[in-house]
Amino acid sequence: MDRVHLRRAGVSLLLDLRDGDARIVHWGADLGEQIPGLAALEPSVPHSASDEPAAVSLLPQAARGWRGTPGTAGDRGSRDYSLRLVLQDAVADDARAELTLVDANAGIQVRATLALEPSGLLLVDQELTNTGETAYRVGALDVTLPLPSQATEALDLTGRWSREKHPQRKGIDQGTWTRTGRHGRTGHDSTLVIAAGTPGFGWRSGEVWAVHLGWSGDHTSRVERAGDGQKVLAVGELLHSGELVLEPGESYRAPRAFAAYSGSGLDGVSERFHEWVRARAGHPSTPRPVMLNTWEAVYFDHDLEVLRQLADAAADLGVERFVLDDGWFLGRRSDNAGLGDWFVDPDVWPQGLTPLIETVNSRGMQFGLWVEPEMINEDSELARTHPDWISGPGDRVPLRWRHQQVLDLVNPDAWQYIYDRLDALLTEYPIAYLKWDQNRDQPELGHDGRSSTHDQTLAAYRLFDALRAAHPDVEIESCSSGGGRVDLGILERTDRVWASDTNDALERQTIQRWTGLVLPPEIVGAHVGPATSHTTGRTHALSFRAITALFGHFGVEWDVRGLSDAEREELRRVIAFYKANRELIHTGRSVRVDRPDDTDSAYGVVAPDGSRALFAYVTLATSPDEAPGKLRVPGLDPDALYRVSLALPLDRHGFAGRALPSWLDDGQVTMSGRALEAIGLAMPLLRPERAILLEVAAQ
């Protein structure tokens, strides 16, 4: 076998297996059945270079002429520092290849599996085994994929607490652009994908290549252009010095990489990810219940009667799940103390949580509870009893972060203690949902004097897995001071993520848009917060906050006891609208509209059969133009006729100008899908930070 051609859903991956190497000569658009001869794809040999042409291998190596970042790193002290991996075996069909590469002299074997899923998403798994006679220290085992010459722009995401998932672009110049996450968790500034594309690629245009790493610990992502012009995308776990040492016969399985090619912009990348995520075993299949979380309603001030009133008000609005947030456990009156003491505080809850749960359940709602199992306060009974259970370098306690430390889950006794406490809570109480938080970066994780970021991540995964096995009906949200742990590794064992700790709808517009590049809306929590945001101090209309939250797993985080009659009626009607349309939102195809400037935004979701759609038009700032440009509505059946009508807001206080477009005065308009995409609709002049929601239905 001298080549492997994987082909599925408009994507091809072509491997050249000659000369004992595994060179990726194409990853991108479908090549069809007649692939070119491999000789036509061999690069030339320039002056002052190795005598054999260098091409990007699955595992790029200096021994094969690659002068960029190698795909593997490791050593046995001063020996076996540079591998020459030779293909030993290859088994492949049209959609999957399993390759075994060995360096017999160095005593290293790597097994690599490349699989094209029905969505066209490429999954890459690699495992390195020490076949030698002495210990081998692993430094890296990255997934490296080639880019063609037409990929000239790079895109990644960055952010901070309450401002996650913001894009940044740059040209792909000679050299290496590396993004690292050294947070002990995925990180607020992590890049959800590292991507490259043709000049000016957008949501609906251009070729795009993107890679995501399914890992919740430290990691690295890079785009690299070598001196000979070859370009790559690469991702992998970031391993610390001495962290991963393989004894003879032991193996290291690298985190899975997910790679998407699209010939139709970022929406094509998103479609491949969404289709794969939704097809997973265990993906939430029941309608996503309307949530109320108590955090911004009461914070740490837990009072049974107040919470009962809040539950009554929530049930009256149509809420289906009531989540009690931080403050219920032993000594937890602020974030200074209590983490680790996972016992219901008898001073606050003399009868336990049962009276509140009975109230919640009697109102037809599920009960959920906040926990933060991976953390510990030094002011806690657990820390006073087991100060040695605090993770760190061993000779000192790491810097505090939000008054807390990290519990060393690599310690089997600490792991078992936390498992037993959570298992006891889930056994004693009818808890349907855990909001699982993790509120700090962990830059100095250590166990027994050694760096333990890798082992801590795996220990946390085992904790999730064990609790899910013991309590399979309990749903779990991954919250990490908001969006600090959003990746497909954590989503193997959780049911949704909390995209950000901010409920400010303006901030959420960008956060949710780019989180949705990989994650479909049904697993991204999105809540209606108070009129004035607790994180930014901005004040927004209820319609703007509600329309923003509709394109996710909808919820409320607000003291709804004090709503005005008008607010109560509007929120009740929005909740009813969400329930009537959540199947469309949570199964449809996400569509983003490329707009001429950044003062407004538009996006929507289209039913799989093209029969219905919802589109939001949002003003983010004042526009330099007196009137907005027409809204082009893509993604519909071009030959079908559609009725477009205004679904929300319920009032028109956000409208500006002296007159509305005539079709809005008429209440609706009918146009073909082709005309809606090619010409679009006139939009009303809106005040800044306002939104309208359009309902589109085939006739």
Q: Which residues are catalytic?
A: 437, 501
The rounded distance, in Å, linking the Cα atoms of 291 and 275 is 25
CA distance to 231, 249, 670, per residue, from 175 (Å): 9, 37, 52
CA 653 to chain centre: 35
**Residues ≥6 apart with Cβ < 8 Å to 61:** 70, 71, 72, 82, 83, 84, 85
Q: Which residue type sits at 562?
A: G
Q: Are the beta carbons of 448 and 395 closer than 8 angstroms?
A: no
* 241's tokens: 């010095």
Half-sphere exposure of 323 (CA within 13 A, CB side): 27
Sign of the Cα torsion 547, 554, 612, 277 reads: positive
CA distance to 394, 419, 468, per residue, from 464 (Å): 26, 9, 6
The rounded distance, in Å, linking the Cα atoms of 554 and 292 is 9
Residue in 579, 583, 598, 590 with CA at minimum distance from that of residue 615: 590
CA 409 to chain centre: 24
The rounded distance, in Å, linking the Cα atoms of 139 and 132 is 17
Rounded (10°) CA dihedral 160, 162, 165, 170: -40
**Residues ≥6 apart with Cβ < 8 Å to 31:** 5, 7, 12, 14
Q: For the chain, count helices (H), then strands (E).
A: 12, 38
The rounded distance, in Å, linking the Cα atoms of 426 and 433 is 10
Q: Are the beta carbons of 127 and 169 closer than 8 angstroms?
A: no
Quick check: helix, strand or coil at residue 689? Answer: coil
The rounded distance, in Å, linking the Cα atoms of 482 and 466 is 24
**Residues ≥6 apart with Cβ < 8 Å to 423:** 467, 470, 471
Residue in 203, 228, 213 with CA at minimum distance from that of residue 44: 228
Sign of the Cα torsion 510, 513, 518, 524 reads: positive
Measured between alpha carbons, how far apart are the two ends of the chain, in Å?
54
- Residue at token pair 């569509």: 591
The rounded distance, in Å, linking the Cα atoms of 509 and 120 is 28
CA distance to 22, 124, 126, 142, 519, per residue, from 97 (Å): 11, 10, 12, 18, 26
The rounded distance, in Å, linking the Cα atoms of 59 and 101 is 10
Quick check: helix, strand or coil at residue 52? Answer: coil
**Residues ≥6 apart with Cβ < 8 Å to 351:** none
Per 3-state DSSP, the chain is made up of helix, strand and coil in percentages (nearest 5) of: 20, 30, 45
The rounded distance, in Å, linking the Cα atoms of 398 and 556 is 36
Three-state SS letters, 294-346: CHHHHCCCCCHHHHHHHHHHHHHHCCCEEEECCCCECCCCCCCCCCCCCCECC
